[in-house]
Structure 1
Amino acid sequence: MQLQSNVDNTAPRFPAMQNVARPTMSTLEISQLTGKAHKNIIRDVRKMLAALAADGSDLSHVREERDSRDYTVAYHLDRELTETLITGYDVSLRHRVIRRLHELEGQVIGRIAVPSTLPEALRLAAELAEQIAAQAPKLAAFDLLQGAGGTLNLTEAATHLGIERYRVIRWLSENRWMYRPANSKRWLAYQKRIQQGVVVNKVSVIGTTDEGDSRCASQFRITAKGMTILATKVAEGAL
Structure 2
Amino acid sequence: MNTLVEPALTMSSREIAELTGKEHKNVIRTVKDLLAAEILDAQIEPLKFEYRGQWFDYYELNKRDSLVLVARLSPEFTAHIVDRWQKLEKKFKQTNVDLHDPHALRRALLNYTEQVIHLETQNQSLERTIDTITQTPAGVKFQQACKILNIKQAILANWLSQHNWDRKLNNTRASTYYSQERGYCETKYEEVARIRPNGDPYTFTKIEFFILPKGMQVLAKYFGKAE
Task: Please tell me the TM-score bracket, short chain as reference.
Answer: 0.3 to 0.5
TM-score, length basis structure 2: 0.40
